[in-house]
């Protein structure tokens, strides 16, 4: 095992400081009494109260949550089906075009995707709103789900499905009772990835949102253009806290599951 040198330690410290020091400063100044975010005037939590009473931010957060849930669910269904076709269907006419259309959003600039979808919605006369944002987010996030699920299906043992078929299951029952539970971690990971991408998106939502639908990133961006307010610091702190709790909880659950599996394997060996 290689020991850390002074160069590696310094580079690691500077890297983490570059990533997390701005977040720490933002969290500290979210408790600032002053309305000026660069002038410390004492400790206060009043901006969190102001945030909870801000109907514009709350409405934008609700729209963002709805869009993220619906688009990630739809993207997971379509992405999983696309992964099954790519991995299980073998060679068929148009396979290259099909795979290219699935993976294209991975490398397509978001501004191009947003502009093309805007022109599509205008061309078909579809009013922009929550529904168009859901369609847009589903379009660009389903490819990420396909990549995650495809990587799991490639290493999947088909003999388990064949055994289920031999025992009398129909192909649909074999998929529902055998395949889906085994690839469930990949499907859940794809859903979480699509959910995160939807929450974070600004460019595509800006093209496809209408006057009646404003997402939280769009609201934050429009507010920051007029100057950073302490309410934005408070909102960002809450989002950082939610993400940190989610990451810590997932890590603890994964660790407990690994310890439980290790204990079961040890008990099976001793038996």
DSSP characters over 85-102: HHHHS-S-TTHHHHHHHH
CATH topology of domain 53-243: MetI-like fold (1.10.3720)
pLDDT higher for 228 or 25? Answer: 25
CB 178 within 8 A of CB 161: yes
* 3-state secondary structure at position 3: coil
| E runs forming strands in the chain | none
pLDDT tens digit sequence for 116-133: 999 999 999 888 888 999
Question: What separation in angstroms does the CA of 59 have from each of 63, 210, 214, 215, 219?
Answer: 6, 14, 8, 8, 10
Average pLDDT over residues 15-31: 87
C-alpha 92/C-alpha 83 separation (Å) is 15
Domain spans of the chain? 53-243
Residue 246 confidence (pLDDT): 76
DSSP 178: I
Instruction: Note the pTM of the prediction, 2 decimals.
Output: 0.82
Confidence of residue 268 (pLDDT cuts 50, 70, 90): low
What is the residue-averaged pLDDT of the chain? 84
Confidence of residue 271 (pLDDT cuts 50, 70, 90): low
In the block, tokens 């690994």 appear at 258
Q: Which residues, at least 6 apart from 82, have a Cβ–Cβ distance to it below 8 Å? A: 102, 142, 146
**Helical (H) or strand (E) element with 200:** helix 180-200
Residue 133 confidence (pLDDT): 92
Q: Which residues, at least 6 apart from 31, have a Cβ–Cβ distance to it below 8 Å? A: 43, 44, 45, 47
- In Å, the largest CA–CA distance within the chain is 73
Helices (H) and strands (E) in the chain, counts: 12, 0
pLDDT tens digit sequence for 61-119: 889 989 999 999 999 999 999 888 888 877 778 878 888 888 888 888 889 989 999 99
Q: Which residues, at least 6 apart from 237, have a Cβ–Cβ distance to it below 8 Å? A: 26, 27, 30
Q: Can you say whether residue 227 is alpha, beta or left, with left for phi > 0 and alpha for psi between -120 and 50 degrees?
A: left
């Amino acid at each position: 095992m290689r020991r850390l040198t002074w160069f590696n330690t310094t580079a690691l410290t500077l890297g983490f400081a570059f990533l997390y020091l701005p977040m720490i400063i933002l969290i500290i100044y979210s408790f600032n009494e002053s309305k000026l975010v660069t002038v410390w005037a004492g400790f206060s939590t009043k901006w969190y109260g102001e945030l909870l009473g801000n109907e514009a931010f709350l409405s934008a957060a609700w729209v963002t949550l709805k869009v993220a849930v619906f688009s990630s669910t739809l993207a997971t269904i379509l992405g999983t089906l696309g992964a099954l076709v790519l991995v299980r269907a073998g060679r068929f006419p148009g396979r290259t075009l099909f795979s290219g259309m699935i993976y294209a959003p991975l490398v397509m600039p978001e501004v191009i995707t947003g502009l093309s979808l805007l022109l599509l919605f205008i061309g078909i006369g579809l009013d922009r709103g929550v529904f168009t944002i859901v369609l847009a987010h589903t379009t660009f996030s389903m490819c990420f789900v396909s990549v995650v699920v495809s990587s799991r299906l490639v290493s999947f043992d088909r003999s388990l499905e064949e055994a289920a078929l031999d025992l009398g299951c129909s192909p649909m029952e074999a998929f529902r009772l055998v395949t889906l539970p085994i690839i469930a971690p990949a499907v859940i990971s794809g859903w979480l990835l699509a959910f995160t991408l939807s929450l974070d998106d600004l460019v595509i939502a800006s093209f496809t949102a209408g006057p009646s639908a404003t997402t939280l990133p769009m609201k934050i961006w429009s507010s920051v253009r007029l100057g950073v307010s302490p309410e934005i610091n408070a909102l960002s702190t809450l989002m950082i806290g939610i993400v940190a709790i989610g990451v810590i909880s997932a890590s603890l659950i994964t660790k407990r599951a690994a310890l439980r599996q290790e204990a079961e394997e040890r008990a099976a060996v001793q038996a």
